[in-house]
Amino acid sequence: MFEEPYRWVEAIRNRRDYLEEQLSAGSPIVGLSFEKGILLATVGAGTPKLYEIYDRIAFGGIGHPADMEKLRNTMLDMAHIEGFNRSPIDVTVRRLMKFGLAPMIKQAFEEVLNAPYIVKIIMAEINSTSEKPLFFRLNYDGVVEERGKNLILAGSSDMTRRMENFLSTVGETASFSFKDALRVALRTWAVSEFATASEGEKTDPSSAPTADQLDPLLKKTIEGRLIEVALLDRTQPGSSKYRMATEGEIETSLKGWLKYGTP
């Protein structure tokens, strides 16, 4: 069946279409820098999406929960063996991604007789030496992208672009407090809801919606859903800098904005 190379290319094309379709409805994850380090936020879709991998490394994904779980476990194993055999400082996302995860994903993608991983992954790291945050995005076909200030993981490239457009109108978030950073992150997330809600209308993907347009939609959408926020907080004592934001912290940030009460 695959003696003809053309058939393989066709199979890959079909595979891509299939995966794009599978991933398009995933709840996006917004990653950005704030004053204490890195904030990752998403609004709940059922299974938790944000996880700790190592002392300064966080992981998030869109896609099939079982595939995400397998990759999460692979990352955990690689990181901990490396941290034990060498040292925790030697465990970097760049190494884990480029030499560990990406080859594995690419291989699964192009071996058309086997199943691909139905996932898109975001990984974030605060570096102990340079203090500069790093974000990595890994696609189902094994392509790795590295970014410095923020990163959007969304189900489709169109959605990613829309959300990135909005985020760029906000500017630098590196000095923002938790409250302000969460506000930006949730609004950015809401761009995905806005785009879906206004699907019938002709909206120009390069023009970003405003906060006034997003806030009412956001308020309605988060009703009864879980807001998941993971932090890599360099001010946290101990070697592990990862923690989930508490319900209290999130509630306080929403008061006076999306919820009643004084912040």
For residues 75 and 93, is the Cβ–Cβ distance under 8 A?
no
**Which residues does residue 34 pair with via DSSP β-bridges, in sequence order?**
37
Residue 51 binds to another protein (criterion: CB under 8 A): yes
d(CA 192, CA 187): 9
Residue 80 binds to another protein (criterion: CB under 8 A): yes
Instruction: Choose between 75 and 185: whose C-beta lies nearer to another protein.
Output: 75
Min dist. Cβ of residue 87 to another protein (A): 10
Phi first, then psi, for residue 262 (nearest 5°) are -95, 135
Residue 54 binds to another protein (criterion: CB under 8 A): yes
Output Rg (C-alpha) for the chain, integer angstroms: 19
Would you give the end-to-end CA distance of the chain in angstroms?
64
Residue span binding another protein (CB under 8 A) among the ranges 12-20, 72-80, 168-176, 185-193: 72-80
- One-letter amino acid of 78: M
Min dist. Cβ of residue 84 to another protein (A): 5
**Rule CB under 8 A: which of 221-250 touch another protein?**
237-238, 240
Residue span binding another protein (CB under 8 A) among the ranges 26-34, 52-60, 140-148, 203-211: 52-60
Task: Quote the crossing angle between the two packed helices 178-197 and 157-170, to the nearest 10°.
Answer: 140
Q: Which residues bind another protein (CB under 8 A)?
A: 51-55, 73, 76-77, 80-81, 83-85, 108, 114, 237-238, 240
